[in-house]
Chain A
Amino acid sequence: MDLTWLPKPSPHVQNTEWRSFKARARRLNGFAQLTNLYIAAFPMPVPDSQDLRSLVRPDRVHHSVYSDPALFELELDRIFGRTWLLLGHASQVASPGDWFTTRMGRLPVIVSRDHSGAVRVLINRCTHRGALVCHEPSGHSRAFVCPYHGWGFELDGRLTGVPVPQGYGDQRQQVFAEMGLRAVPRVELYRGFIFASLSPTGPDLADFLGPLASSFDDLVDRAPDGEVEVAGGVFKHTYEGNWKLVLENHLDGVHPNHVHISSVHVARDAADPGQPEKYADISIRQMRQNGAPEPVWEAIGMWTSDWGHGYMGDYHSDGRLVVGLNNPVFADYRKRLEQRVGAEEAQRILGVTRWNTIVYPNVSFMSQFRQLRIVHPLAVNRTVVYTYNLRLKGAPEQMFRDTVAFSNVVNGTASWVLTDDLEVYGRVQKGLEAAQPEWVNLARGVGGDVPEGELLRGGTGTSEIFIRRQFDAWLRYMCADSSGSAA
């Protein structure tokens, strides 16, 4: 292959090094191989592990982890570019030809179900001149066709047609063989949830989820038909802050009494929910519960695992909010669940009382009201969170209506709960962009952690252990070398 056109990556590369690279590269055939060799031989200069480790201490982190654009780019490479990301649920691609688009860090991807029934994750970029192949949130197609020159791709990404094929001369076979839509190297499902990784190596999904897989079990086991599905719309919330802020908020039991105090007060002044239940009651109950006193939050429990995951216990004492207690709808629901799994197993399933679970770095979800939130970093100071409802298949219709009503009040774009969270993320970001003071305090509960099998439990439910564990994972990802193994 003629390489006279190939530019030297930087003036700092020695001529001898450059000549030796070109000697190796001339033996390649195909641009894909050349690109891979080039990227591997001349990596971008990045902060070394020593620099990164200096940013994270046992009880604090440096503010730049939230505000430095260079660190953000490195996060996209080393965290979002490598680890398992939850992309959605199998019900979003129920039939062959169904697809939806989403992001994996910087990359736009298509999640499709191919004709064999397999879930595929493809980079949403035509291999010809680079146009997005799918530009809508979801759809159904027999095949993908690029709008620019009509390159056609199978649902599994294979290139099936190009215009003027004779224009590629001898390389025609090669074009077809090499130029399919690029597949994301690893895709795995757990209980219907679609995960993918941009790295061909690394821990498999089971190792990555570890004991936190049980939170997905908690969710899916609750469905009388044994499955959940995505339904009822998706909120897409932007905030002017770093992506980590939302993950540091969802297990934080101290903020509701401050961030959400206005809705707590207003709900307390409202008429007491009663029977028969009114539409507004579920909202009033939830907002009141956010005002639970400190001892409740201290007692709920906070569990963490490797890779930055964690979950908090449920803080609701209200019988309407904890499934399986004193409401006629739940009596019907429990009966349906018992019919499938038996009374004893139903008792076990309904006895699990978890509130939010975080699967670091891009998921927060909960079984009690079936909400799934996927976090997409956009810039160091800008994030969008996609919030989905999940339906328990086989449960009474009212259960899903509860989910929808709950989503409006807690996760709705104009919710009095969510808007205060978004507001505070923005204010935190503005503060953290200030260079002084340098450190962010994460000391609550330090030293009180309690090992529980594979889990590490916070000494109390309000321990900031879950943030400290997120930063353990952050360092582990960020300090790994280009192969993904820890340096």
Chain B
Amino acid sequence: MIINHRLSRDAFIALGHGGGDPAVIQDLVEAQYSKHLMLLHAVAEAADAADPSDPVTAAFQAGFSLMARVQAADSDAAAWQLGLPQIGAWAHDCLTSLDQGSLPDFGYVACAAVAAAVRAGITFQLAVPVHDGRVLLPGLGCLFIADQLSWIRLSGDGVRLTAGNDIDLPYAALIADDGRGTLLPQWQGTPLIRAVADGHAWDVLLETHDRYLDRYAQRMPTALTADEITKWRHIIESAWLVLVRRHSWVAASLATGVSVIVPLVPESDLDSATTPAAFGAIATSLPPDPVMMAETLVHEFQHLKLCGLMDMLPLIRPSEETVYAPWRQDPRPVGGLLQGVYAFLGIVLFWGAQRRVETDPDDVLRAEVMYERWRSTMELATGSLLATSALTPTGARFVNLIREQGLSLESESVPAEAREMAREVALDHWLTWQVRHNAFDTAGVASLAASYHRGEPLLDRTLPEGRIAEETRKVDSATRSRLLDMRHLDPRRYRELCAAGVPGLSKADALLINGQDSAAVCAYRDEIACDGRQPEVWVGLALAVHRHQASSPLRQVFTTKLPLMFDVYACLSQQGIRSDPLDLAAWLA
């Protein structure tokens, strides 16, 4: 009788607190192995119903049989092969193809079976597909095929692999490339990074050839040069050292759960990604330094852990709800917010440890602000999640564990300068998001504007209720926002830019960035008086008011009612009525 995987209460709690030791991660890994087998079985059922004379169907049947033989002879080799993230991704894509009525890529399983057979020293004979002159053996590398063929028959006698007249290679040479072997003309091993620090090892593949891992928003490079591979080796090895020495809470767990790094062609300063279809793979562009690589690994590993957990236990129900996420410019679905807050819990834990070991003042500042910035979002984001109706009871328990961990970090002290920077960056994000996505009923705004114009007191009047909309107002504040972030993310560059003068800043923004807060308030008011239709100027005014009027009730109004103020002001302007934003704020206060 088959029973389902189980997860202990302690493992659930450890994951909810952002951790999970290697044994817990192994539970997730083994559940993924079962998931891959389950999906492989679903694909096998479809292959049974397909045309047996089709070469792809025949390849699948032969590959499936070979994999079963490998499993019987060497279960570890089969488990390693079938547990690879690309196998999960392939199986996922097969199911999607079947659901769409198209033929899945059955032939891939033959390649995976050959890779497993080579690892296990098993005999075989079967045809495999050739793509662009290569036969991919997932997790091992590529055979180069000289002839222009779409299929080739491979034979293995348990010691050597042969194909056609050209290829005759020992199994022992068909291995991933750890940088120490000899190069063969017909074989390219997948780069394997063997990172070792203080006796702790992590073996991870650097995959650029398997198309099932080319599935992220940014593309995978078609190939890496030897120099590029060397750079990746160095940064991953250095990041591993950072993790082992400074973040022992996560290092061994990460080594248990992450088997593949997928390089990405960057489209920004840093891009990284994971998908539940490929558990165990982290995709990332090359980070600027080992600490950022370590942070990226921790961040993406959080996503992987949650993906693995959500495969095992439903945490959310289907829902159309969208909510504010303190790290995104768009309203997010509940699942997106849950993934994000869990990733940031890892980031908070990372910077919480990192801030204690940095010595360079710029690095200390970055660590302190990052810690404070994301620590302060835990309560907000978990509160938003718990207020939705999309969490299952297990999901609500899990979010409460995240929240509990966030609250436990609240008592940690952070230097005042870092705290203020973190709060201002968070405020800028919140204000910008609100102005961009909060929409109001036009009649309600008009009525409020009329009351203000008549000089009526606000008293207990009910204000128009905002709703979340896709993009209500376009906010063009990227330069200012990036400068505010750059203060802690790249202080040296920030100082250089400030010294040289930043192009593209308005007079008011320049005053704000230079810390001339009172003058900035005046300048933003002047800009609004000239043209009050630019939301980014209102956000700038709110930031300046926050800095300049520390104890004023206006701060609260600017924090919570900025989009409404903007709409009321616009309504009055359309009627030719001039008003002052601070006076309007005082009325709303």
Q: Do A and B come from one complex?
A: no
